[in-house]
Chain A
Amino acid sequence: MTSGTLVSLRDAYGELLPELGREEPRLVVLDADLSTSTRTGKFRQAFPERTLNVGIAEQNMVGVAAGVALAGGIPFVHTFASFLTRRAADQIAISVAYPRLNVKFFGFHAGVNLGEDGATQQAVEDVGIMQAIPGIRVYAPVDADDLVATVREVMRTAGPTYVRLSRFPSPILGQDDSTAAPAVKALRSGGQILVIVTGTLAAEVVAAADALKAQGISVRVVGVSRIKPLDPSIAALVSAWGPRPVAVAEEHNIHGGLADALSSVLDEAGVPHRLHRFGVPDRFGESGPPRELLESLGLGSRALAERIAAIVSQQPAQPDPQRWEE
């Protein structure tokens, strides 16, 4: 889609699902009384016999998905990220991941999207829960185009996966650097600070980078949609960045998310690092308009711009800009 077009991930998903259903007759859709939010309606209209709404019973839904997979189906499991990963964590681990079943989980309204509803409906720990369970691939697409590519990758990959989606229309970000590895999306080029971001928070980081450019601060923004397994090329990218500052931005607890995953990959690769963590500071969310809530957590574009500028201003005299590749 055209860069800048506003599309919500869930709407893109709702359009894609019937298409996938036509391509893959084994695809089965499961919901737990949130199908209006999860946008599975068009699939249900096309394939009512391959759709099951189990009611408000997420643990049962995950077990039913395991049974569908054992009987040869490919279940797509839908509900809010919070209810799926918190309530059904044991079922996800023992009924799906342990037997390595081909179940595809989709967690909607992740992060603090459900602003006014408050902490109970928000998910600031879903990535942490899912990536701590052995064998689950974890994704947080950065825009609707990325979501489509991600779901297609999920379909091609046998075994359990988790895709984190957000609620609101967010811009198609495009990519301004076609030489980057596919797993790592170059969203903005710059030389003073590298921000690695996952999920639709990427739009906030890009907006902050664009605002800072006008102030003469040059921010490189890289998007990562597959958190587990994290593409190892990210270690070379950080290594080549040298001593310049690196930040990780995610609409998730600073613990258990992309920053931890990245730190782990850098440790494995022997790349010394210090990551500035732009995430939810180990607290639950709260009620409030989503944008205001995001800003209050330091994750809206205005707050991010301030935080990035503060880090850049504290840097010692910049090394020769020619010395380190961009």
Chain B
Amino acid sequence: MIQRDVTIAQLDDLARSIRRDVIEEIRTAGSGHPGGSLSCAEILAVLYGYVVQPGPDWLSRPDRDHVILSKGHAAPALYAALAEVGLVDREELGTLRQLGSRLQGHPDVTRLAAVEMSTGSLGQGLSVGVGMAWRLRATGGAGRVFVILGDGELDSGQVWEALSLGGVLGLENLVAIVDANEIQNDGPVAGILDLRPYGPKLQAFGWAVREANGHDTGELVAAMDWARSGEPGARPRCVIAHTVKGRGVSFMEGRPEWHSHALTLEQYERAVEEVERR
């Protein structure tokens, strides 16, 4: 269990453990999305290890923070984070994608309440976050809603509908985190639907935007402190976390083919070694 006072070194350890779990899960499952799972390891480490810090009673606490993994294909990383903070048994990680498992290929809240929302059809999570944040604000709820999106996911029109509404409503209790790993299924974002720079567009939609190195837990902690402060005003917050797809495994980094890919035994052994060494 993570303690309230947490150091940057602990968050880095947590991210390393998440990466190690991701490699293990996808190797055992024989399929999955390693690239986008590895790119958000620090984001999840900072969210669960520093911001949310879910205890065993987390799901029954009305004042709790919420996390929605809109980029649902990073489910192995989410399950790993939940295992690291004690909400999923470590042994259960070995059941990913198997028939009857709570760990579906993409998160299923009816099987595993700790994932908070079923996602996987890209583009849908931010709307859910807007609805939650609006309802929480209206009922005096203390919690915030954190939504993790992929940069490829920003292609989807529904995301911009949600950005519009979130901005108009001025939902200061809503924090979007874009895992900007610059690669989507078919290749580099730059060669498909290049919407960069994201910052000015999001600001034009009424959001307070901050950029961060998405692999620097210190920068992410500072960004989360900013998002939870009054400084950005009555606007929803967005942290654009610049990341590397497949981060931590040299032969996956920046390689689109590792968006969705199984690992051979040799690749698995090399990946584990690299992740543990880093």
Contact with B along A150-179 (1 / 0, CB 8 A): 000000000000000000000000000000
Contacts of A59 in B (CB 8 A): 124, 127, 157-158, 161
Min CB–CB distance B1 → chain A (angstroms): 25
Contacts of A50 in B (CB 8 A): 138
The answer to whether A57 touches B161 (Cβ under 8 A) is yes
A68 to B165 CA separation, bound complex (whole angstroms): 14
User: Does B94 sit within 8 A of A, measured CB to CB?
Assistant: no
The answer to whether B116 touches A70 (Cβ under 8 A) is yes
The answer to whether A99 touches B118 (Cβ under 8 A) is yes
Min CB–CB distance B221 → chain A (angstroms): 26
Tell me which of A28, A49, A54, A67 contacts B128 (CB under 8 A). Answer: A67
The answer to whether A66 touches B131 (Cβ under 8 A) is yes
26 contacts between A and B (CB under 8 A): A49-B138, A54-B165, A55-B164, A57-B164, A57-B165, A59-B157, A60-B164, A60-B165, A62-B127, A63-B126, A65-B131, A66-B131, A67-B130, A67-B135, A68-B134, A69-B131, A70-B66, A70-B132, A71-B131, A90-B124, A94-B124, A95-B121, A95-B124, A98-B118, A99-B108, A99-B109
Known A49-B138, A67-B131; contact A94-B120, beta-carbon cutoff 8 A: yes
Known A67-B131, A71-B132, A95-B128; contact A60-B161, beta-carbon cutoff 8 A: yes
Name A43-61 residues within 8 Å CB distance of B. 49-50, 52, 54-55, 57, 59-60
User: Does B117 sit within 8 A of A, measured CB to CB?
Assistant: yes
A71 to B174 CA separation, bound complex (whole angstroms): 13
The answer to whether B135 touches A99 (Cβ under 8 A) is no
Chain B residues with CB under 8 Å of chain A are: 66, 108-110, 116-121, 124-136, 138-139, 141, 145, 157-158, 161-162, 164-165
**B108, B118, B133 — most chain A CB neighbours (10 Å):** B118
A28 to B135 CA separation, bound complex (whole angstroms): 9
A28 to B131 CA separation, bound complex (whole angstroms): 11
The answer to whether A68 touches B124 (Cβ under 8 A) is no
The answer to whether A71 touches B136 (Cβ under 8 A) is yes
User: Does A16 sit within 8 A of B, measured CB to CB?
Assistant: no
Contacts of B133 in A (CB 8 A): 67
Contacts of A75 in B (CB 8 A): 131
A interface, how many residues as a size bin?
20 to 34
The answer to whether B141 touches A67 (Cβ under 8 A) is no
User: Does A273 sit within 8 A of B, measured CB to CB?
Assistant: no
Name A86-123 residues within 8 Å CB distance of B. 90-91, 94-95, 98-100
The answer to whether A71 touches B135 (Cβ under 8 A) is yes
Contacts of B126 in A (CB 8 A): 63
The answer to whether B130 touches A70 (Cβ under 8 A) is no
A52 to B117 CA separation, bound complex (whole angstroms): 22
The answer to whether A60 touches B120 (Cβ under 8 A) is no
User: Does A72 sit within 8 A of B, measured CB to CB?
Assistant: yes
User: Does A279 sit within 8 A of B, measured CB to CB?
Assistant: no
Min CB–CB distance A91 → chain B (angstroms): 6
**A55, A60, A94, A98 — most chain B CB neighbours (10 Å):** A60
**B116, B128, B139, B161 — most chain A CB neighbours (10 Å):** B128
